[in-house]
Amino acid sequence: MGIDLDCGSKNFNTGYSHWHVFRLDVIRATKSYVFRLTKVEPDLQPHVDYIKHYFDTKYDDCKFIDLLDERLQNALIHLGLCGLYELCNKGDSETYYSPAESHHICGLFDLIWENNSNKDRYVDLVYEVFKYSELHNKNVIVT
């Protein structure tokens, strides 16, 4: 049993346990990206500060983020990281990612893994599926 992401000619599948670890790796890479931010626009600084505070005080490295934390959602949106919410807020079957969600997930991956070779070997495969969705305006079907 596992997860299948299908969009047109692009697809990705893996076991549920690896998908869970993959999403945790995305969360960790996002955390690392935010902590590397040193110069941001003054109006974005409170969002950076809140995300850092969240990861320092409320986040356990072995679980997903608190998707009900509206202030966290808002901060992720302002920093172009809302793809994290969208990637982690979906079930593992019988759902879909819209082209807009795919766009946000691709944007997240572009930010957190820019010039970074220390990424899960499946990142590029997953990215291809979401990029196809974004470019061809097709849903990614999750089964």
Kindly indicate the confidence band of residue 126, based on its pLDDT and cuts at 50, 70 and 90: very high
What pLDDT, on a 0 to 100 scale, did the predictor assign at position 65? 64
With a cut of 70, say whether residue 115 has pLDDT above it: no
Question: Rounded distance, CA 73 to CA 16, Å?
Answer: 25
- Give me the number of domains the chain comprises: 1
Residue ranges making up the domain that contains 25: 2-142
Amino acid at 92: D
Question: Rounded distance, CA 31 to CA 9, Å?
Answer: 32
DSSP 114: T
With a cut of 70, say whether residue 39 has pLDDT above it: yes
Residues 6+ apart with CB under 8 A from 46: 75
Kindly indicate the confidence band of residue 66, based on its pLDDT and cuts at 50, 70 and 90: low
**Once rounded to an integer, what is the mean pLDDT over residues 88-111?**
92
With a cut of 90, say whether residue 141 has pLDDT above it: yes
